[in-house]
Amino acid sequence: MTNAAQRPDIVSETFGSSKDLAILLIMGAMASMLWWPEAFCRQLAARGRFVIRYDNRDTGLSTKYPPGAPTYTFEDMVDDAARVLDEHGVAKAHVLGMSMGGMIAQSVALKYPERVSALTVISSSPLGVDTSGLPGPTEAYKEHSAQGGDIDWSNRGQVLDFMVRDARAIASMLHPFDEERTRAMIEADYDRSGGLASATNHFLIKGGGPQRTVRDLRAPLLVIHGTADPLFPVEHGEALAKAVPGARLVKVEGGGHELHRNDWLQIVEAIAAHH
């Protein structure tokens, strides 16, 4: 755990009434809270939830570290989530994580079981389960991702163009890609964060904590996964649901590695029904 002198600022925002059941949203690698769209959060709040979203360290308005030299671990990011609950006076919450945030959320539920009333994991992979037999990212996505090594992360134009291409690469096969809306959000994220160079640290962090397995999970589990996810193919969601007795799997037909607006109704209804 990071000591008190090094404690980062973790910036968060809430929607809805603090008297309602709390739901903590944890986003994935390189992604600030803006990747949980405000309208999506408000839809959850309208279902009687006190919604908390926050900037992972190295994103948004939270503490940044020199690019290429993160001094924190994955375990610190797990503890960050618990601290956000503390800061909002929440004893117990439905914890929801997406992508890398889904791995953090699984660890939160295992490390702090008394704080987690329910767990939802979107577009992620099971923690502490052998996934070597599962399909990896698609060849097209790996080819795109490799281009990230050629990006000058201090160049706003290059970064924005690459991130828009990235969003397109992981997008739904069923719904149209809204490039204008996507670019506007990424521009807002870039400018609010003061650039995205530090966010690349998320690909360098070490574990830092004990080995955990989702097989030990006690909170009820909901798994939501797109059937066309090119980063974590749907077999990862299936394996996660299979590893936990009683888990529910909701497949988003044609869904990519994203929260597409056309799928919000299905996703929000599934989350609201899970507690």
Nearest-Å Rg of the Cα atoms of the chain is 17
- One-letter amino acid for residue 208 of the chain: G
Helix axes 264-272, 38-46, angle to 10 degrees: 40
Tell me the catalytic residues: 99, 229, 257
Domains of the chain: 4-135+197-272 (3.40.50.1820)
The whole-angstrom separation of Cα 76 and Cα 70 is 11
Residue 146 confidence (pLDDT): 87
DSSP string, 11-67: -EEEES-TTSEEEEEE--TT--GGGS-HHHHHHHHHTTEEEEEEPPTTSTTS----T
CA angle, 186 then 189 then 191, to 5° = 110
Give strand pairing partners of 250.
Answer: 224
Tens-digit pLDDT profile for residues 127-139: 999 999 999 999 9
In sequence order, the 6+-apart residues with CB closer than 8 A to the CB of 105 are: 26, 81, 95, 96, 97, 119, 120, 121, 124
pLDDT band of residue 4 (cuts 50, 70, 90) is very low
pLDDT over 90 at 16, yes or no:
yes
pLDDT band at 200 (very low <50, low <70, confident <90, very high): very high
Closest CA to 77 of 23, 127, 22, 8: 8
Catalogue the E-assigned strands of 67-115.
93-98
Residues 28, 172: Cα–Cα separation, whole Å: 17
Residue 172 DSSP code:
-
| CB-facing half-sphere around the CA of 216: CA atoms within 13 A | 13
Collapsing DSSP states into helix, strand and coil, what is residue 203?
helix
Is a pLDDT exceeding 90 seen at residue 57?
yes
Cβ(160)–Cβ(153) below 8 Å: no
How many other C-beta atoms lie within 10 A of the C-beta of residue 48? 12
According to the model, what pLDDT value does residue 271 have? 98
Residue 24, beta-bridge partner list: 52, 95
- pLDDT tens-digit profile of 233-248? 999 999 999 999 999 9
CA 35 to chain centre: 8
d(CA 55, CA 31): 8
User: pLDDT tier at 6 (50, 70, 90 boundaries)?
Assistant: low
Q: How many CA atoms lie within 13 A of 235 on its CB side?
A: 12
Closest among 264, 248, 89, 108 to 175, alpha carbons compared: 264
pLDDT in tens, 80-99: 999 999 999 999 999 999 99
User: Does residue 32 contact residue 60 with C-beta atoms inside 8 Å?
Assistant: yes
Q: How far apart are CA 132 and CA 165, in angstroms?
A: 28
